[in-house]
Amino acid sequence: MQAEPLATAAGFQLVGPLLITPRVFGDARGFFYESWNQRNFNSALEANGQSPVAFVQDNHSRSSQGVLRGLHFQKDPHAQGKLVRCIQGEIFDVVVDCRQSSSTFGQWASARLSSENHQQLWVPAGFAHGFLTLSAQAEVLYKTTEFWDRDCERSLLWSDSDLAIAWPQATEPLLADKDVAAPTWQTLIAAGDGFQ
C-alpha cells in the first residue's frame, strides 16, 4: 500500500491526513485486495511522523446523490481519528485542519474516494471531515479511534465562506438538520471548539 499526504487548495501539504492506495490484484474473475492491515497501517503512520492507532468502532453509511454529510468532528477528550473508504459509488471527501498550532490551520483538502479506485483517507483527530455523494448511491465505511460521544460532537458549516471549499456541485446539497444549523468557522473557533 502507498500512503501520501494531501495538498490543500493553496498547494500546502497537510500534516496528518493520508491518502492510502492499496495494492489491488485483478484478473478476469474480479479483484482482491487487503482493505485493512493493522501492522501496515501503523507502519505508514510512523513513516509519516505519526503514532500508531487502534480502532474501536466501524461505521457504515449509505447516501443518495447530492447528500452532503459534514463537516463533523469530536473534540477532546474524545477526539476521533477516522479511516474512510467508499465501497459503492463515489464521494468527494473533505478534511479541514482545526488545529490552532498547525501552519495549515483553517485550510482544507479533498480526495475522491470510490469503489473503483479503492483508496482510503486517514483523517486524524484535529480535523473536521465531510463528504458529498457524487454517484447515484454511495456506501461509505469508516473506522474510528474513539467511540461516538454526543457531548464532544461538533459540526462546522459546509458552505462557510472563510473556508471556501470547492464542492463539485452546482445545486444545493441534501443536508441533515444539524448540518444546516452548523456554526461558521469563526463562531466555532471563538467558542473554543478547535484544537490546540
Q: What is the pLDDT of residues 87-116, one digit of tens each?
A: 999 999 999 999 999 999 999 999 999 999
| Predicted TM-score (pTM) of this structure | 0.94
Q: For residue 33, indicate whether it is catalytic.
A: no
Omega within 30 of 0 (cis) for the link into 173: no
By mean pLDDT, which of 60-69, 74-83, 163-172 is the weakest?
163-172
Return d(Cα 41, Cα 122) in angstroms, integer.
10
Our count of domains for the chain comes to 1
Residue 98 lies in a domain: yes
Q: For residue 142, indicate whether it is catalytic.
A: yes
Residue 127 lies in a domain: yes
Return d(Cα 66, Cα 135) in angstroms, integer.
8
CATH number of the domain residue 175 falls in: 2.60.120.10
Domain that holds residue 80: 2-190
Q: What is the pLDDT of residues 35-56, one digit of tens each?
A: 889 999 999 999 999 999 999 9
pLDDT for 12 equals: 86
Residue 196 lies in a domain: no
pLDDT for 1 equals: 86
- The active-site residue, picked from 72, 78, 118, 129, is 72
